[in-house]
């Protein structure tokens, strides 16, 4: 009987201590437990205490659950569902190591209080850099806008008026490190007084040497009032369109004439005008029996085919090439002096095609002359 009582007391002591350890999480609450044991010496009273502690612990858990708040964080498309005892969105983000940068978009104020009875949601859209070149410099714009047009609304640098945007369309989506260029376009209307160049009319004059010109009437430039639309891009003119013109003074045409006469500067310093030049072979002859088969005393001795008496300056030609009575100038190619001015007044049996026969008085010179290259200039009639 004594042993049973002793065992029950030992069991009660162990059970009491285990229960206390369980309820206190192993913390040292022995003084409290001893006081409870003194106060409640019976099992029934101890059971009541245990139930009271359990109820208190459950109430504590309920209070904790009642104070918790649900938060959904959408960080640039990355969803995070969490429970928190914090009071604001800012504290909740810090609790989850989420940093909001200056240019990021946040759907609700960070200092806003969390609701206990409904779900709290916050959306963060991260800003990305866009680089805009304008006015000679590049500007970095941090933006969370969806389109280029939305980004430009808040940009410190933007197109104005008829400026042109290069690199993207206004409706294009924003992407990180997008590069844009704004071309400054300026369109103005200006009035200018300008000259109207005079026209120049030229007419040929066959009495003037080729290459020679002279003014018959100087003429005069006119004046006009003109209105232009001028377009500049980044300060550089790219187009100039004439809108209207008022003639203040009509121009007067200048009249000029130019020479068509061919000319030759001879070895003697003379200027010879000609209409045609031919390359020919030249031979020489005299009025002697040796060259003409006519001796002195013959009625036709020294008489040419045209009936004129032979002399220096008379040449024999092929009339099909150079008509008789044609005036020419004969230039000998080489070191022999030019034959000079001559008239086609004779013919010869051997003179066919581009050949001429030059009359000289000296039989000795004629015999030496042989065949030479020559240029025959057909002289102009004027």
Q: What is the pLDDT of residues 196-240, one digit of tens each?
A: 999 999 999 888 888 889 999 999 999 999 999 999 999 999 999
Higher pLDDT, 207 or 321: 321
Mean pLDDT of 257-264: 86
Q: Sorting pLDDT into bands at 50, 70 and 90, what band is 1?
A: very low
Position 51 scores a pLDDT of: 61
Q: How far apart are CA 171 and CA 164, in angstroms?
A: 15
Q: How far is CA 210 from CA 215, 264, 277, 326, in A?
A: 15, 10, 14, 22
Token pair listed for 364: 């000795």
Most confident range (mean pLDDT) of 7-16, 60-69, 228-237 is 228-237
**pLDDT reading at 342 higher than 50:** yes
Q: What percent of the chain has pLDDT over 90?
A: 68
- Decide which of 297 and 227 is more confident: 227
The pLDDT of residue 27 is above 90: no
Better pLDDT: 132 or 45? 132
Residue 295 predicted with pLDDT over 60: yes
Q: Provide the pLDDT for residue 44.
A: 57
pLDDT at 355: 97
Mean pLDDT computed over 80-102: 94
Whole-number pLDDT of residue 194: 97
Q: Identify the pLDDT of residue 79.
A: 95
Mean pLDDT, residues 158-178: 95
Q: Is the pLDDT of residue 32 over 70?
A: no
CA distance 109 to 91: 12
- pLDDT of 378 higher than 80: yes
Residue 207: its pLDDT value, please? 80
User: At residue 62, does pLDDT exceed 90?
Assistant: no
> According to the model, what pLDDT value does residue 67 have?
75
Of the chain, the percentage scoring pLDDT greater than 70 comes to 82
Range with lowest mean pLDDT among 37-46, 244-253, 301-310, 335-344: 37-46
Q: Is the pLDDT of residue 59 over 50?
A: no
Average pLDDT over residues 271-291: 91
Q: For residue 6, what pLDDT is reported?
A: 42
Lookup: tokens for 29 = 């609450």
- Band (pLDDT 50/70/90 cuts) for residue 34 is low
Given a cut of 60, whether residue 139 has pLDDT beyond it is: yes
pLDDT at 381: 74
The rounded mean pLDDT for the chain is 85
Q: Smallest Cα–Cα separation from 377: which of 327, 335, 333?
A: 327
Q: Is the pLDDT of residue 63 over 70?
A: no
């Amino acid at each position: 009987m004594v042993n049973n009582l002793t065992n029950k007391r030992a069991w009660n002591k162990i059970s009491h201590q285990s229960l206390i350890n369980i309820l206190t999480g192993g913390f040292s609450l022995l003084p409290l437990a001893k006081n409870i044991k003194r106060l409640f010496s019976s099992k029934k009273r101890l059971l009541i205490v245990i139930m009271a502690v359990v109820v208190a612990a459950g109430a504590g858990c309920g209070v904790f659950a009642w104070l918790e708040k649900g938060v959904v964080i959408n960080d640039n498309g990355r969803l995070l569902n969490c429970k928190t005892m914090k009071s604001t969105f800012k504290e909740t983000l810090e609790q989850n190591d989420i940093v909001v940068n200056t240019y990021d978009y946040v759907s609700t104020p960070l200092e806003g209080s969390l609701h206990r009875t409904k779900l709290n949601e916050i959306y963060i859209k991260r800003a990305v850099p866009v680089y805009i070149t304008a006015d000679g410099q590049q500007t970095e714009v941090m933006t969370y806008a969806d389109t280029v047009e939305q980004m430009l609304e808040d940009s410190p640098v933007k197109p104005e008026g008829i400026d042109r945007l290069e690199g993207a369309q206004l409706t294009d989506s924003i992407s990180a490190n997008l590069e844009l260029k704004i071309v400054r376009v300026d369109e103005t209307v200006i009035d200018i007084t300008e000259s109207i160049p005079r026209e120049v009319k030229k007419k040929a004059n066959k009495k003037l040497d080729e290459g020679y010109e002279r003014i018959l009437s100087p003429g005069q430039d006119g004046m006009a009032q003109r209105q232009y639309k001028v377009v500049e891009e980044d300060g550089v003119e790219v187009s100039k369109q004439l809108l209207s013109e008022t003639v203040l003074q009509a121009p007067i045409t200048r009249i000029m004439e130019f020479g068509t006469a061919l000319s030759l500067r001879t070895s003697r310093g003379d200027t010879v005008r000609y209409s045609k030049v031919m390359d020919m072979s030249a031979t020489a002859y005299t009025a002697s029996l040796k060259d003409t088969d006519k001796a002195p005393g013959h009625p036709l001795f020294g008489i040419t085919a045209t009936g004129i008496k032979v002399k220096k300056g008379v040449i024999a030609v092929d009339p099909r090439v150079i008509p008789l009575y044609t005036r020419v100038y004969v230039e000998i190619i080489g070191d022999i002096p030019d034959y000079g001015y001559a008239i086609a007044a004779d013919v010869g049996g051997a003179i066919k095609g581009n050949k001429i026969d030059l009359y000289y008085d000296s039989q000795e010179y004629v015999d030496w002359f042989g065949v030479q290259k020559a240029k025959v200039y057909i002289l102009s009639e004027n």
